[in-house]
Each structure stands twice: as structure tokens, then as C-alpha cells.
Structure 1
């Protein structure tokens, strides 16, 4: 696997991981008992911590990439394993 492919796949996994871990631990003003300021949405989190999100996303992406790379090297799951519908029917063209 080329280094650019490794970087691209890790980047995609990092973005996916960031969206997966972003809502973990966030609280709205209703949940924390804080007052909503003028001009702020009621659903806006009061304890948004981007450094924690970046750390969690980096760790999760690293774990997912290691699993992906091990599968790439060892071939645990292949495309043939993901073919749930069987081979397509063969048409007789009458030649």
C-alpha cells in the first residue's frame, strides 16, 4: 500500500470518527441547568471541548485504521465475502 493511500484512508477514517465521537458527553443548557443567552440556540452545547473531540477521533481513527490495514494484509474479509446475493444469472445469448 502506498503512503498516500494510507494517508487518504486514515483521513477519511478520522473524519468519520470525528462525527461519531462529537456528540459524546455534550450537554444542552436544559440538561446542565444553565441559562440560554440571548441569540443562542436552545440546543447549543454548553461544554463543547474541541481538543477532547480531536483526541478521541484520533484514537478511534487509529484503531479503525489498524483493523483496516490488518484486513488488507491478511485478507480476513474480501469482496467475495460481501457478495450476499450470489453470482448474477448468466444469460444465454444464443450464439
Structure 2
């Protein structure tokens, strides 16, 4: 696998990891008894910590990519089978 392909696949894993990480960051503003700002959704998070979210996304993406890469190197993931050519 070329390093550019590996980088592209890693970036896809990183982007998709947001769907696994973000649902776990959800203390609502109404749960914290914080006064809501006019126009604020009651279900919106009380605080947002983007650096923490990015770090968790990176950890999830790295672990997922390593699992994929080991499977690719050992031949468990065959590109021809996945593309329907075999």
C-alpha cells in the first residue's frame, strides 16, 4: 500500500470516528441548571471541549486504522474481493 493511500484511508477513519465519539459528549444545558441563552436548544451541550473531542477522535481512528492495516498486510482484506473484481 502506498503511503498516500494509507494517509487517505486514515483520514477517512478519522472523519468517521466523529460519529462514534460525539454521541458520548452530551451533558445537556438543561441538566446542568445553566440558564439558557435566547434561541438555545435545550438539548444542546452545556460545554464544548473541541480539543478533547479531537484527541478522542484521533485515538479511535488510529486504533481502527491499525486493525485495518494488520488485516490488509495479512491478506484478510483483499482489495479485489472488496471491489467485486474477484
Is the TM value for this pair above 0.5? yes
- Residues 47-78 of structure 1: CA deviation (Å, up to 9, x unaligned): 11110110000011000000000000012355
Query: Distance in 2 between the 1:51 and 1:61 partners?
Result: 15
Query: What are the ranges of 5 or more consecutive residues in structure 2 without an aligned counterpart?
Result: none
Q: How does 1:1-95 map to 2 (within 5 A)?
A: 1-76=1-76, 79=81
Higher share of residues assigned helix: 2
Structure 1, unmatched stretches of 5+, are: 81-95
Judged with a 3 Å threshold, the aligned counterparts in structure 2 of structure 1 residues 7 and 21 are, in CA distance, closer, same or farther, namely same
- Cα distance between partner residues in 2 of 1:38 and 1:4: 47
TM-score (norm 1): 0.75
Aligned-partner Cα distance in 1 for 2:44–2:2: 41
What is the aligned residue count?
Answer: 80
Greater Rg by CA = 1
